[in-house]
Structure 1
Amino acid sequence: MNRSFPLSIPSQESQVMNKHSEVMEGLKAHHAIIAGMLKGKRFHFVDIPDYDNIGDLLIMLGTLRFFQIHGLTPSTIATLPYFDHTRVRADDVLVLQGGGNFGDLYTSIHGRREALIAAFPNNRIIQLPQTLFFSSEDALAKSVATMCSHQDLHIFVRDIVSEKLAHEFTDKVYLAPDMAHQLYPVKSTDRGAKGVLRIQRVDKEKPYTPEVIKQLSIRTTTDWVELIGDERKLITVFEKLEWRLKHYGMPGALTALSKWFWVPVCRRFMNKAVDLFADHESVVTDRLHGHILACLMDKKHIVIDNNYGKNSSYMNQWTIESPLTTLAREKT
């Protein structure tokens, strides 16, 4: 379903906002099954992001909010490179961060995921909602061969394309929206919003810009990495502290480091994005979490598909019924 341009909200604003809120609250309910799988279990939340993609940081913060809402406390919160395997007991559950890096576009991240799954063949492993994408059939076959022997691997996926692909890895596949939706609603101060904000990818998923978008008057163009800017030094500090704790035999302190240093930093980065969105009347984005953040903030926006259809697949599955969002399909 495509809606017409330009960006505008119909005159029945209260009806629009009520419908949007109904869609957003409904998405949060889809995660209840995850809480049921973790209730009463000792579990480790691993593969948290330690880089400058605000979208992945939103996912992590949404996941932690979800745990809090359901009275769940991870025994461990850690990045994959610094996760202490010796802390895992026979009945523990491993919970992997969701996102869009399951596949061969981000080989180092996916490779670490494969290694973890192989290292714990007898523990339940829950992969939180991901988008699956492999550009190479050979890479897909190798990944399937690595994971498919695990008997208790549960994969949550964000769209039906990924759902079909996930069944090659396991028969325990579930369709669920992104964990960042647990942050809804995200409130912001009134900043006298004006103009259009363009969140434009600068990485390997960057698409072409449709002609209809080029005709819009854009006030600000940026991307997550540019938004974080010089504060990326906080990421470097976190990475150095992780290394030191592991090097000096203090892996148990990594969870405290994540909770009391890294999570506040991630909230700081998220608030930079929230303030930027609040400063603009509307948003145009080719980032999935540009779309999701606009939804979290009840802000009207246009979404351009990424280069392999992730955004349109997600929207058509979960958010297309919101009157605040418009999908502009990519045309080259």
Structure 2
Amino acid sequence: MNNLKTKLLDLLLVIPPGSEIVYLDYPVYSNIGDLLIFEGAERFFSDNDINIVERFSLKEASALSRRRIGDRVLVLQGGGNFGDLYPWHQAFREHVVRSFPGNRVVLLPQTIHFSNDREAKRAGKVFREHRDLHIFVRDERSQAFASTELSHNRENVRLMPDMAHWLYGHIRSSVVAENAARGTLWLMRGDKERLGESNSLEGFHPEYDFIGDWRDIRSPSNVLMEHVMAKYHRAAGVMPFRPFKPWKTYIPFVRSQIDASVDFFSKFERIVTSRLHGHILGALLDKHITLFDNSYGKNRGYYDCWTKSVRNVTFAE
């Protein structure tokens, strides 16, 4: 796991220490995987003397302006929403690339997937027009696509593991829960990326196992706070000036959600999951992990690239 963390230092080739950056598209929703990416990026930049001078979520897209951005490096959140499955995030990404042709733009590690070839070609034209765009990708299929379709310079496309790996050594299992750990957490996708898992529950023990998705492990108070934070960010996005910065309140909430997820994972000896970050968080906590694929091969591609050699991680064929 430490090797995967170290590979993230290649980011310093395009965002050197001492840089000032603006972080874009941070997640104002309760997908713990995306929150782990965000927290990993936050810690990476802090640990490497990179100053995040401003942050804008998707809900604040209309607040972006040349006056607020200046000539700083624009850094976009990584993850698995590059493509046509999540059009709002893709549209925001394309808006940034079009609107700031003179700024360096860096896409943190992404998995790329288009189900529509025409949409892929249209998006490719947008990205190829930017002359200082640097794309980090999480698997070889995404690397091949980005190198030929998204960048005018193949050297600006680099293979890199997920930003959540920077959390290795920062987060640890709850000692109390770990000492009493038993059973299996079955964290299975219930959204548009779900792949049929009809045989994946063999060995399920209802008395000490748990089955659900990220949304099922949230507390009612976190669900309420998520709605409050979403409204807070939308309000910031429509104001003609910026009297408050919602990320200052939001980041502590993100960390509390991650802490709660770590405590929950710590209760179990084994993780069976079709969530990419279910398996990454499990690996960070040194759990026994069985990884199932998602609907288009994202998890398989990531496993083959990065976690195949990680102790205790296996892929369900």
Q: TM-score, normalised by structure 1?
A: 0.87
Are positions 1:73 and 2:51 aligned together? yes
Task: Indicate which of 169, 178, 189 corresponds to 2:162.
Answer: 178
Aligned position for 2:264? 276
| 1:116-168 deviations in Å (ceiling 9; x for gaps) | 11101111100000000001101101111222111111000000000011111
Question: 2:197 matched to 1:243?
Answer: no
The equivalent of 2:212 in structure 1 is 222
Measured against aligned partners, the alpha-carbon deviations of 1:143-201 in whole angstroms (never above 9, x if no partner) come to: 11222111111000000000011111112100000000000132122310111110011
In structure 1, what is the equivalent of residue 176 of structure 2? 190
Q: Pick from 102, 105, 110: which aligns with 2:85?
A: 105
- What letter corresponds to residue 50 of structure 2 in structure 1? L
Could you tell me whether the CA contact under 8 Å between 2:168 and 2:284 is conserved in 1?
yes
Q: Distance in 2 between matches of 1:113 and 1:49?
A: 13
Counterpart for residue 59 of structure 1: 37
8 Å CA contact 2:59–2:237 kept in 1: the answer is no
Deviations 1:71-109 (A, max 9, x none): 2121112203315323111x3110000000000000111
Offset of residue 241 of structure 1: 1.9
Q: Deviations over 1:32-60 (max 9, x none)?
A: 12124222332101110001211000000
Secondary structure of the structure 2 residue equivalent to 1:202: coil
Q: Which secondary structure state, in structure 2, belongs to the residue aligned with residue 205 of structure 1?
A: coil
Distance 2:3 2:243 in 1: 37
Supply the distance in 2 between the matched residues of 1:252 and 1:28 (Cα, whole angstroms): 37
Q: Which runs of 5+ in 1 are unaligned?
A: 1-23
Q: Within the alignment, does 1:292 sit opposite 2:283 as a pair? A: no
Tell me which residue corresponds to 1:11. none
Deviation string 1:269-303 (CA, Å, 9 cap, x unpaired) is 11221111111111100000000000111111100
Q: Which of 27, 37, 57 does residue 4 from structure 2 map onto?
A: 27
Check the 8 A contact 1:98/1:178 in 2, yes or no: yes
Q: Is the 8 A contact 2:57 2:233 kept in 1?
A: no
Residue type at the aligned position of 2:69: V
Residue 84 of structure 1 contacts residue 251 of structure 1 at CA under 8 Å; is this kept in 2? Answer: no
**Distance verdict in 2 for CA 1:282–1:174, change over 3 Å:** same
Q: Secondary structure at the match of 1:151?
A: coil
CA distance in 1, matches of 2:46, 2:102: 27
| Letter matched to residue 216 of structure 1 | G
- Give the one of 306, 309, 312 matched to 2:294: 306
Does the aligned pair in 2 maintain the 1:193–1:279 contact within 8 Å? Answer: yes
Q: 166, 169, 177: which is aligned to 2:150?
A: 169
Q: 2:23 maps to what in 1?
A: 45
**Is this contact kept in 1: 2:74–2:103, CA < 8 A?**
yes
Q: Decide whether the 8 Å contact of 1:285 with 1:291 is kept in 2.
A: yes
Range moving further from structure 2, 79-88 or 25-34: 79-88
In 1: Cα distance, 2:47 partner to 2:214 partner = 28
- Structure 2 residue aligned with 1:325: 313
2:24–2:76: 8 Å Cα contact kept in structure 1?
A: yes
Say whether the 8 Å CA contact 2:109–2:162 is kept in structure 1: yes
Q: Aligned partners of 1:145, 1:240: CA distance in 2, in Å?
A: 34
Give the one of 90, 110, 120 matched to 1:130: 110
Instruction: State how far apart, in whole Å, the 2-side matches of 1:125 and 1:118 are.
Output: 11
Which SS does the other structure have where 1:50 is aligned? coil
Give the match's secondary structure for 1:209: coil
1:253 to 244, 252, 258: 244
RCO higher in structure (CA 8 A, sep ≥6): 1
1: CA distance between counterparts of 2:159 and 2:237?
A: 36
**One-letter identity of the residue aligned with 1:221:** I
8 Å CA contact 1:210–1:328 kept in 2: the answer is: no
Identify unmatched segments of 5+ residues in structure 2: none
Q: Which residue, 131, 140, 160 being the options, matches 1:151?
A: 131
Q: C-alpha distance in 2, partners of 1:317/1:292?
A: 13
Identify if the C-alpha distance between structure 1 residues 84 and 278 changes in structure 2 by more than 3 Å, giving closer, same or farther.
same
Report SS of the residue matched to 1:307: coil
Report the alpha carbon displacement of residue 246 of structure 1 after superposing the two structures with TM: 4.1
